[in-house]
């Protein structure tokens, strides 16, 4: 089993405008991916990105929007065992740099600093188990 795998390219903040004092909204979805099946209609905008990992069926299990403030950690509960701790590091008018820590039963599994373009999803595969996976799209909105 692979516990953490980041998907998608990250944009660079090189040459961008200075960081803005920030509070941003981040959409976090919990998606159950499988080798077969239908795609939940609420995931239509993410379908091609989700399918790029070889899965064909996607069920939206949970979605929430959280506010992130610069240097302030926000916990997002994924299910009973898994959680994410998100911290906004900086942002400009094109992208946000976010520190992501994945936890299982309160223990750190992995962490990464990622740059996510505005209104684009960063996919995190939190748990892979054979033909199924728990995929977490994280989308900054500002």
pLDDT, tens digit only, all 142 positions of the chain: 444 445 444 433 444 444 555 799 999 999 999 999 999 999 999 999 999 888 999 999 999 999 999 999 999 999 999 999 999 999 999 999 999 999 999 999 999 999 999 999 999 998 878 889 999 999 999 8
pLDDT at 53: 84
pLDDT at 21: 55
- The answer to whether residues 139 and 121 touch, using CB atoms and an 8 Å cutoff, is yes
| E-only strand ranges, 37-79 | 57-69, 73-77
At 61 the three-state DSSP class reads strand
| 119 Cβ neighbours under 8 A, 6+ residues apart | 139, 140, 141
- For 41, the token pair is 């209609």
pLDDT at 4: 46
DSSP per-residue letters across 7-43:
ES-----TTPPPPPP-EEEEEEEEEEEESSS-B-GGG
pLDDT at 126: 85
Tell me which residue of 118, 121, 132, 79 sits closest to 102, measured CA to CA. 79
């Amino acid at each position: 089993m692979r516990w953490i795998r980041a998907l998608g390219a990250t944009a660079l903040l090189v040459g961008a405008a200075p960081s803005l004092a920030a509070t941003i909204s981040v959409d976090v979805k919990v998606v159950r991916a499988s080798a077969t099946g239908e795609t939940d209609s609420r995931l239509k905008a993410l379908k091609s990105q989700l399918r790029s990992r070889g899965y064909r069926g996607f069920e939206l299990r949970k979605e929430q929007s959280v506010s992130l403030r610069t240097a302030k950690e926000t916990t997002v509960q994924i299910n009973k065992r898994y959680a994410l701790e998100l911290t906004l590091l900086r942002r400009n008018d094109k992208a946000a740099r976010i520190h992501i820590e994945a936890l299982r039963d309160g223990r750190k599994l992995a962490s990464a600093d990622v740059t996510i373009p505005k209104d684009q999803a960063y996919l995190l595969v939190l748990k892979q188990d054979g033909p199924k996976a728990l995929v977490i799209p994280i989308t900054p909105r500002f």
